[in-house]
Amino acid sequence: MNATGPTMLHKPVAQEAHQLSSAAPLGWLLVTVPIVGVGVWFGLRRQRHARTHPQEHAFRALGRRMKLRQRDMQAVRVYARSAGIDSPIAVLMDPNRLQEAIK
Amino acid sequence: MMEQFLKLTHNISDFSTHNPQPVGKVDTIEPNIPWAEHHPNMSLPVKHISSPLEHAAKLRTRDRIVALGEALPSASADQRDSMALMLIELASREQHTPAEQAREQQAAGPVELLTRLPGRWRSRHADEALMALAHAWSNLSPSVRPLAVALGRDRWLGAVRELARHPRLEARLTAVAIAYDTADPGLSNVVASLLSDEEQRVRRACDETLLRMALKLLDHLRPELLGDEYAKIARTPHLGLPTDPAVLALERCTLYSAIADAAWSFASHRCRSPLIAALLLMDRAVATPLEREVGSRMRRLLSQRNHPSHAPLRSVLKRTDCPLLRERALRWLTISSISTAALDRLSVAESRTEHEIVLVRAHLAMRPSRASKLSGLGRVRSNAHGSMLPAPSQWDTLSEPARLGLMAWSALIGESDASQRVRLEPALADDSPSVRFAGAALCPMLDLQDYLFDTDARIARHAALRWSTTGADAPRPHSPSGGARLKLSVQNTRSPHAYVRRVASEERARLTIDDPHQPASRLQARRLMQADPAGFARMVRDRLSNPNTRNDMITLIRVLGVEQRFELDLIGIVQDARGDARARASAVAALGRVDSNAARYTLSEALSDIDPRTRSNAVETVPLSSDRLLELKDDHHHRVRASAVYRAIRQSVTQPGGEHARAACAALIDMLGDERPPHRLAGTWAAQRSLSSRTRTVMGHSWSPIVSRLEELAANDDDPRLRERATSCIDRLTRELRLRSQLDASRAEQGRWE
C-alpha cells in the first residue's frame, strides 16, 4: 500500500463547470460606457464652457454659491443690463445692487 | 510695502475664512431687506447677500479670478481694496530663476510633464489675475497700486501690451493710463503705436503720456527751464515699475527710438507730443552714446523741409511755452530749414528764465553762421509778449554769466549805439569784476572813461588801453576833444594803478607839446610847428611865460632847433636875474646856437653871472679863446671849472696847441685829485666826456695819469656816485680802445692783402 498515494476510500465529487453567458460582459459595457461617456462629456462641456464663457460660468458658479434662484439670477441680469453695468457679476458682488436687483 | 501687503492680506484672510463679519455696508444692509422676512417668494437668506466676497473666495480659482476681475472695475471704494488684494494674492507667483526657466523650456518626459501641470495652471491663473488687475487699474486705490506694481515689471509690460491690442476702447485707455502712471520707458513702444489709434480719446491720452515720459527724462532740470505746464507734468510723481536702474537707462533708448519713429510718422497721427519730445530730447546734454545715435535720427528731421511734420515742428519751436526750447532755437540757428523759426523764437522772450537760458549760452552766437543771422535782430522791437533782450530793470535778476552774455549779445545783434549804451550802463556799477571788465571792453567810448577809475587794476588797465590813442592819430591838442582827453589823462596820471598812470602819461605826451622828454610830445610839437607855425610860436611863448613850463619849453626849443626864432624870448629869460636859475642856464645853452650880436652879448654877460649853472653853460657855449678858458679853470665852482677844462680839451683837438692842452690836462688831473668831492665828481664828468681815442694824441703824456687817477677813484673813493661815474668812464674807454685796436688790425691785414 502506498502511504503517500490517495486512498480509495474517498472519491471527490466532480463539480459542474459554472459558465457565464457570453452576453454578460457586453451588458456591463453597455451600462458603464454610456454612463462614463456621458459623465466625461458633461465634464468636457463644462470645461469648454468655462473656457469660452468665463464670465457666464463664473456668474453661475457665484450664483449657485450664493444660493440664488434662477429667477433671481435673471433679475440680476436684467438689472445689470438696465443699469448699464458691463457684467452681472458686479451686481452679485455688490450687496446694495443685488438688493435692488432682486427687489 | 511688504508690511502693508501683509497687513492687508491678513485682513482679507480673516474676512474670507474665519471672520464672518461682512465687509463694507453689510451692517446697514440687513435692516433694509424687508422682503427677506415678509415676502413669501423672497426666501433668500440675508447672509448670502451680505457677504459676496466670502462666496467669491470659495469659488474655484478660475471663477474667482473672473468674478473679482469683473467686479473690481465698478466696485465701490470700500470693497475695491479687498478685491484688489485678493487678485494680487492670486497674481503673485514664484519668480523663476533663469536656470529654472531654461530647464522648463527643455523637453521633458511624460511624468515630468504631468508633475509640471499644477505649476502651469498656477502660472496661468496668476497671469489671468494680473490681467484682471490691469483691466481694473483705473479703479485701484493709490495705496494698492504699489502692491500691484510689485508683481513684476516684465509681467506688467506684457499685460499692457495685451491691453493695447484689446478691441475694447476702455482696455486701450487703461493701457495708456498704466503707461501714464508708471511712465516706464519700456511702454513707450505701446504708447507710440496707440498714437495712431482710431479713437480720439486714446490718441489724446497717448499724446499726454508720451510727453510725460519724455519730460520724466528732464525732471533733473530746474522747473523754470521747462515752463509751468511742463514742469508740473514732470514733477507729477510716478509709480515706477520695479527694475534695475541700469535696465531703465537702457530702456531710455527705446523711448528715444519710439519718439523718433513717432515724429517721423507724424502724418499718421498728427499728435504734437512726439515733436515736442523730440525737440526737447534732441540735444540732451547727459545723453548716452546710444541715445545720441537715436538723437541723430531726430536731428535729420529738422532738415527735412518737405516732411509733413516740419510745419508743426516750426510751430512748436516758435510757440511752445518752454524756455528750454529757446535755448534749442539758438543751437539750431545754423540749420537753414529751421533757422527762421529759431530766429522768431529768439526775437521774443516772455520771462526772465527765457532770457537767462539763452544769454548764458551767448558764446554760441560767436559762430559766424549764427552771428550773421542774429545781426539783424537789433532792429526787432519788443512787443506786448516780451522783448529779445531783458530790460535794464531786470539786470539785477540775471546771473553773472547771463549778464556777460547780455553785453556780448547786445554788441552782436547790431543795436544802435544809444540802445547799446542804455543796455550796458548797469555794468558800470556791477558787483562782479568780470561783468565790469566786459563792460569796459564793450561799452561805447563815451562811457569808457568811467572805467578808468575802477578800483580793480585789471579793469582800469583794460579801459586805459582801450581809451589810449596808441597806434592811432591823437586829437589835436587845441581841439575840444583833445582838451577833454588831456584833462582826463592828467587826472589819471595820479591813478592808484601804475599801468594806468603810465598810459595816461603817454597819452598826455601825445596830446601836448609840454613834455619834450617824450618822443610823442616832440612829434606832436613838430607836427604843430609844420601845420601852424604861428600857432606853435604863440603856444610856445605862452608856455615860456609860465614859470612851471618854461624849462620844458626851452628844452623843446633846443630839441627842435628853433632857437633863432625865439632868440628874444631866450635873451629875456637870461636877463631876468630874478628868474629861475635852471631856466636861465638852459636859455644860455640855447642861445649858444644863435649867431647874432645880441645873443653873443648876452652870453658874454652870462660869463660873469652869479649863478654857477648859468656861468657853466656860458663857458660851454660862448666862443672863447684858449687863454680865457684856462683862466676859467680856476673858478671856485666845480661846474664852471669842469666845463672850462672840458671846453679847453675839446678846443685843443680842433686848434692844436700843445701848451694849452697840457695845461687843460693838468687842470683835469688837479680836479680828479681835489680834496672836495664835488670837484672830483665834476672832474670825472669832464674826463668822461674828454677821454676818447681822438683826444689821446692831444693829451699826450697826460693820458696815463688821468686814466690811473680814474681807476683809483673807481676803486677807492668814498662817494658812490663818483665811483660809479669813474667806473663807467673806464669801461667805455676800454671798449673804445679795444675796438680801435681791432679796427687797426683789420686795416693792417687789409693793406697787406692789397
3-class SS of residue B387: strand
Contacting residues of A for B25, CB less than 8 Å apart: 95-96
ipTM of the complex: 0.75
Considering only the beta carbons, identify the residue of B45, B56, B74 that sits closest to A85: B74
3-class SS of residue B349: strand
Q: Given CB atoms, is A56 within the 8 Å cutoff of chain B?
A: no
Contacting residues of A for B44, CB less than 8 Å apart: 67-69, 72, 102
CA distances in angstroms from B290 to B281, B568, B728, listed in the order given: 13, 92, 77
CA quadruple B392, B397, B402, B404: dihedral sign: positive
Residues ≥6 apart with Cβ < 8 Å to B523: none
What is the C-alpha to C-alpha distance for residues A86 and A89, in angstroms, rounded to an integer?
9
Q: What is the pLDDT of residue B41?
A: 42
What is the C-alpha to C-alpha distance for residues A57 and A60, in angstroms, rounded to an integer?
5
Mutation for testing the A interface, residue in B27, B63, B166, B174 having most A CBs under 10 Å: B63
What is the least distance, in Å, from the CA of B172 to any CA of chain A? 16
Please report, for chain A, the start and end positions of each structural domain, with discontinuous segments joined by +: 34-102
Spell out which chain B residues touch chain A, with contact meaning CB-CB distance below 8 angstroms. Answer: 22, 24-26, 29, 32-33, 35, 42, 44-45, 48-50, 52-53, 55-56, 58-60, 62-64, 66-68, 70-71, 73-76, 79, 83
For residue A7 the three cell numbers come to: 486512498
Amino acid at the residue B459:
I
Closest by CA to B53, choosing from B30, B91, B19, is: B19
Contact B155, B195 (CB under 8 A): no
Considering only the beta carbons, identify the residue of A57, A85, A86 that sits closest to B63: A57
Q: B576: left (phi > 0), else alpha (psi -120 to 50), else beta?
A: beta
Q: What is the pLDDT of residue B250?
A: 87
Q: What is the pLDDT of residue A8?
A: 65
Considering only the beta carbons, identify the residue of A69, A87, A98 that sits closest to B49: A98
Q: What is the pLDDT of residue B376?
A: 76
Q: What is the pLDDT of residue B388?
A: 85
What is the least distance, in Å, from the CA of A72 to any CA of chain B? 9
Note the Cα B270 to chain centre separation in Å.
42
What is the C-alpha to C-alpha distance for residues A92 and A74, in angstroms, rounded to an integer?
12
Residues ≥6 apart with Cβ < 8 Å to B382: B348, B388
In DSSP terms, which residues pair with B387 in a beta bridge?
A: B349
What is the C-alpha to C-alpha distance for residues B510 and B525, in angstroms, rounded to an integer?
9
Q: What is the pLDDT of residues B96-141, one digit of tens each?
A: 677 777 777 777 788 888 888 888 888 899 999 999 999 999 999 9
Ranges of chain B with pLDDT below 70? 1-50, 95-96, 285-287, 378-385, 655-658, 754
Q: What is the pLDDT of residue B40?
A: 40
Is A95 close to B60, i.e. CB distance below 8 A?
A: no
Q: What is the pLDDT of residues A3-32, one digit of tens each?
A: 666 666 666 666 666 666 778 888 899 999
Contacting residues of A for B75, CB less than 8 Å apart: 90, 93-94
For residue B330 the three cell numbers come to: 539758438
Q: What is the pLDDT of residue B2?
A: 45
CA dihedral B106, B111, B116, B121 (to 10 degrees): 130
Please report, for chain B, the start and end positions of each structural domain, with discontinuous segments joined by +: 644-754
CA dihedral B259, B265, B268, B269 (to 10 degrees): 20
What is the least distance, in Å, from the CA of B70 to any CA of chain A? 6
- HEC assignment per residue over B491-509: HHCCCCCHHHHHHHHHHHH
Q: Given CB atoms, is A29 within the 8 Å cutoff of chain B?
A: no
What is the C-alpha to C-alpha distance for residues B715 and B734, in angstroms, rounded to an integer?
16
Q: What is the pLDDT of residue B22?
A: 38
What is the C-alpha to C-alpha distance for residues B434 and B156, in angstroms, rounded to an integer?
55
CA distances in angstroms from B184 to B206, B210, B229, B396, listed in the order given: 13, 10, 21, 41
Q: Given CB atoms, is A75 within the 8 Å cutoff of chain B?
A: no
